[in-house]
Structure 1
């Protein structure tokens, strides 16, 4: 177990020494979620809670529900909520995204009902089931590869839990954007695609996708964010998000 720091020390994060460990993806996800103080946000598949606590640090009035399948990760997220002093407004529930909000255990967050959330943010498993080299570490394998809940199930869960006109914000592999758009079609509109470029001129490996439940507005492709300069340092724009806690305003 290690204790790591995000947002220049504003967020403390206990996470396992081996297995899945949060990097910059959940920080960027939280920065891209267009929440405001007083709103309810669901972190779908929250892991140890990195995105939840980054959002809570940026927006003191926001309420976050974290839903996590793996007991060890959910336990860490609860410990991290206490560690960061936000347990009163960041509540963690052990449960399966594919089944939510049905079949949740007794004592689950009372906000976890259909149509309750203003926003859902999620960093789902990046690889389709059976199409990647599965890690020997169970936690990492579950976090990286789809199991019973594939991408369609994650999008369907978000649609069930969002309030009308609520937003879904997802960070995923850029090479799966065609599948993401197909899964959103019919439920979501006003889709915004925000590429994350490793450096200027390089192919995007990650993309942030935002969509609004029930909207019919056409999609937009934005210029996105360049993460590193030619020397490998974070660009000023990336540094403002990753260290200073700025929002990705788009």
Structure 2
């Protein structure tokens, strides 16, 4: 990996780790506590674009944290530009630094904003409606009260009741006509997700991720296209681990080698 300036981790003091993704193709400094990106971010990025998409595209990364999902995509697609939206100022600082360290400053923008803010406020922050051909989102997984106070995870992991409606409204507003949205979430949120996204995106496809063969899905990728009205589809999904705990061949290809995950088939 080429040498780049060290990220400015001052907002977190010494409470950071340096983590490699895509087999070391990118590195990201992340906080020890709070929002930490892992395999969810890599699978989200893998599902957002396939290898045939080589034209210039603008992608919005909503709830970007320290930027890992967007950086994975920038490493794979040289004609892609990414705008990361994150409301936590410390996470924004790390995302900017991680983008610079990995050599993506010219194609990577980080905007500190609360996506539930009024449209005028978002526009003033630099978020123009209808501007993005691809969107990825990793919303908070838990409702208020599900995470104990003091864990340093409230902002990143907890959503107020009805929050997914706010996320869906924001994503639809930012999406260009025919834009494709890819989101990762918990399977038990599917009913709400299909409801709020289905009013704004069509051709919805559900792609479950199973920790091992025979186990219930632990995550689901949901993808849809703005302006379409096609029916909901459920794909077979992906098993992540063999019986001995090793990653399956396809999961390894995504996580270590940057292969795309064809959610829509």
TM-score where L is the length of structure 1: 0.93
Structure-2 residue corresponding to 1:136: 150
Q: Give 1:22's match in structure 2, choosing from 37, 54, 57.
A: 37
Structure-1 residue corresponding to 2:102: 84
Which one has the bigger helix percentage? Answer: 2
Structure-2 residue corresponding to 1:211: 224
C-alpha displacement at 1:75, in angstroms? 0.5
Q: Any stretches of 5+ residues in structure 2 without a counterpart?
A: 1-15
* Pairing 1:83-232 to 2, within 5 Å after superposition: 83-99=101-117, 101-104=119-122, 108-109=125-126, 112-130=127-145, 132-138=146-152, 140-147=153-160, 150-232=163-245
Quote the Cα distance in structure 2 between the aligned partners of 1:19 and 1:78.
17
Deviation per residue, 1:128-148 (Å, 9 max, x gap)? 233x1334134x211111148
* Pairing 1:233-244 to 2, within 5 Å after superposition: 233-244=246-257
In 1, are the aligned partners of 2:86 and 2:112 still within 8 Å (CA)?
yes
Q: Give 2:28's match in structure 1, choosing from 4, 10, 13.
A: 13
Q: Give 2:90's match in structure 1, choosing from 47, 52, 72.
A: 72
C-alpha displacement at 1:99, in angstroms? 2.0
C-alpha displacement at 1:186, in angstroms? 2.2
Quote the Cα distance in structure 2 between the aligned partners of 1:78 and 1:113.
20
Q: Extract structure 1 runs of 4+ deviating beyond 3 A.
A: none
Query: Structure 1 27/198 Cα, relative in aligned 2: closer, same or farther at 3 Å?
Result: same
Quote the Cα distance in structure 1 between the aligned partners of 2:133 and 2:80.
11
C-alpha displacement at 1:167, in angstroms? 1.1
C-alpha displacement at 1:208, in angstroms? 0.1
TM-score where L is the length of structure 2: 0.88
In 2, are the aligned partners of 1:63 and 1:90 still within 8 Å (CA)?
yes
Quote the Cα distance in structure 1 between the aligned partners of 2:110 and 2:160.
21
Quote the Cα distance in structure 1 between the aligned partners of 2:84 and 2:185.
18
Quote the Cα distance in structure 1 between the aligned partners of 2:176 and 2:78.
21
Deviation per residue, 1:103-127 (Å, 9 max, x gap)? 1486x44xx2000000110010001
In 2, are the aligned partners of 1:165 and 1:213 still within 8 Å (CA)?
yes
Quote the Cα distance in structure 2 between the aligned partners of 1:167 and 1:41.
10
Q: Give 1:32's match in structure 2, choosing from 22, 47, 54.
A: 47
Q: Give 1:3's match in structure 2, choosing from 12, 18, 36.
A: 18
Corresponding pairs, count: 245
Query: Structure 1 236/64 Cα, relative in aligned 2: closer, same or farther at 3 Å?
Result: same
Query: Structure 1 21/73 Cα, relative in aligned 2: closer, same or farther at 3 Å?
Result: same
In 2, are the aligned partners of 1:175 and 1:205 still within 8 Å (CA)?
no
Deviation per residue, 1:206-235 (Å, 9 max, x gap)? 000001112111111000011000000100
